[in-house]
Amino acid sequence: MPEKFDIAIIGGGPGGYVAAIRASQLGFKTALIEKDRVGGICLNWGCIPTKALLKSAELFNLVKRASEFGLKVENLGFDFKKIIQRSRQVAERLTKGVEFLLRKNNVTKISGHGFVLKPGLVGVKNEKDEIEIQASNIIIATGARPRELHGINIDGKVIITSKEAMLLEEPPRSMIIIGAGAIGVEFAYFYNSFGTKITLLEMMSSILPNEDKEITDILAKSFQKSGIDILTGTKVVEAKAVDGQAEVKIQNESGEKTLKADLALVAIGVRGNSDDLGLENVGVEVENSFIKVDKKTYKTNVDGIYAIGDVIGPPLLAHVASAEGIRCVENIAGVETLPIDYYGIPNCT
């Protein structure tokens, strides 16, 4: 007989684990299903470890200017492996912290890939076996992943995503970064700081196209001063590995040409992780990979099934997922809540 829960949450990122803790605090018997590590992309591969990398770059750049502060620093160098290692340790520490919070709040963590069998019934599959659990309410919080784009052949070695960019053993001599949103500009700054020749490509007319132009102009000047090549208004036609090098064919007002570098980092667009969840079994509406919900209650079109976080679409931010998770379980509990003001959310780069 399947174990019974009040709420089962599929996905243990900033939306899922925060929702699980709040649900337990409200008296619900709660299960959190996660196939990898709790914390999701944000804690393991995104916001947190990238900030650790950026801190190393910031400190290195500051020490280079030691003489301006009347200080003498000789033979300044860096250990790139240790920089990456520190970033991983920071992520690990926070993940362990989340696991402790889940235990403290009596959330049942189930390891494996969760999927909906029917309303009220969830399957969980891992390497050893497959189990079923009953849940009056199911919350999908599976996040998003880099979108596969036509003409861009990601192989994880030469044409890479942000995940591989965080694990390189040494800085490449050159890197083309496709997309100058938050992820693109952060990696441009980081790798440029440690000697990589960066070419930053953006289809829109400025880098960080969603930010105020006043600040993006200042950032662009700072990048150019640091030796970063910026090509805006530039479309990527094709990106592939050729003889161990990245070849990126671009098109802009100057025409078409091919750029070459040691690596190309694809930092453009994501798709919701809405596949392999059994949603088609129960008829949950999905549009362009994102699950459709009522943005006040986070209900899908199927009773008892909810969704929060990146899997429901922009804004794709960890703190938004957490806020949605709290609202969602409070609505299930009948607690009166104010809807999130999606026009008043702080963004960060």
Digit-coded pLDDT (tens) for 41-93: 888 888 899 999 999 999 999 999 999 999 999 999 999 999 999 999 999 99
| C-beta neighbour count of 299 within 10 angstroms | 18
- Percentage, residues of the chain above pLDDT 70: 100
In terms of residue numbers, what domain contains 25? Answer: 3-46+84-146+271-332
Q: How many angstroms separate the CA atoms of 244 and 263, rounded?
A: 9
Give residues with Cβ within 8 angstroms of 152, minimum separation 6.
159, 178, 236, 238, 239, 240, 266
pLDDT value at residue 285: 96
- Percentage, residues of the chain above pLDDT 90: 90
What pairs with residue 139 in β-bridges? 9, 306
The DSSP element (H or E) to which 222 belongs, if any, is helix 213-225
Q: What is the average per-residue pLDDT within 32-36?
A: 95
The structural domain count of the chain equals: 2
pLDDT value at residue 349: 84
Report residue 347's pLDDT band, with 50, 70 and 90 as the boundaries: confident
The answer to whether residues 276 and 261 belong to one domain is no
pTM: 0.92
In a domain, 75, yes or no: no
Q: How many angstroms separate the CA atoms of 102 and 213, rounded?
A: 42
The answer to whether residues 277 and 166 belong to one domain is no
What letter would DSSP give residue 208? S
pLDDT value at residue 225: 97
Domain end call among 268, 283, 306: 268
The answer to whether residues 112 and 27 belong to one domain is yes
pLDDT value at residue 147: 83
Q: How many angstroms separate the CA atoms of 145 and 252, rounded?
A: 28
Q: Are strands 159-160 and 263-266 parallel, antiparallel or unpaired?
A: parallel
pLDDT value at residue 235: 95
The answer to whether residues 19 and 133 belong to one domain is yes
In a domain, 26, yes or no: yes
Q: What is the average per-residue pLDDT within 304-318?
A: 96
Instruction: Catalogue the E-assigned strands of the chain.
Output: 3-10, 30-34, 108-111, 113-118, 121-125, 130-140, 144-146, 159-160, 174-178, 197-201, 229-231, 235-242, 245-252, 255-261, 263-266, 270-272, 286-287, 290-291, 305-307
The DSSP element (H or E) to which 130 belongs, if any, is strand 130-140
pLDDT value at residue 241: 96
Q: How many angstroms separate the CA atoms of 227 and 177, rounded?
A: 14
Token pair recorded at residue 119: 């309303």
Instruction: State the amino acid at position 110 in one-letter form.
Output: I
pLDDT value at residue 161: 93
The answer to whether residues 40 and 110 belong to one domain is yes
- Above 90 in pLDDT, residue 149? no
- Above 90 in pLDDT, residue 300? yes
Q: Apex CA 95: angle with CA 92 and CA 100, to 5°? A: 125
Q: What is the pLDDT of residues 200-259, one digit of tens each?
A: 999 999 999 989 999 999 999 999 999 999 999 999 999 999 999 999 999 999 999 999
The answer to whether residues 114 and 183 belong to one domain is no
The answer to whether residues 245 and 280 belong to one domain is no
CA distance from start to end of the chain: 48
The answer to whether residues 164 and 101 belong to one domain is no
In a domain, 64, yes or no: no
pLDDT value at residue 247: 97
CB 111 within 8 A of CB 34: yes
- Above 90 in pLDDT, residue 346? no
The answer to whether residues 279 and 302 belong to one domain is yes
CATH of the domain at 225: 3.50.50.60
In a domain, 340, yes or no: no
The answer to whether residues 220 and 124 belong to one domain is no
Q: What is the average per-residue pLDDT within 154-160?
A: 95
- Above 90 in pLDDT, residue 164? yes
The DSSP element (H or E) to which 97 belongs, if any, is helix 80-104
Only one residue has tokens 């497959």, namely: 130
pLDDT value at residue 55: 97
Give residues with Cβ within 8 angstroms of 151, minimum separation 6.
236, 237, 238, 239
In a domain, 258, yes or no: yes
Instruction: Share the mean pLDDT of the chain.
Output: 95
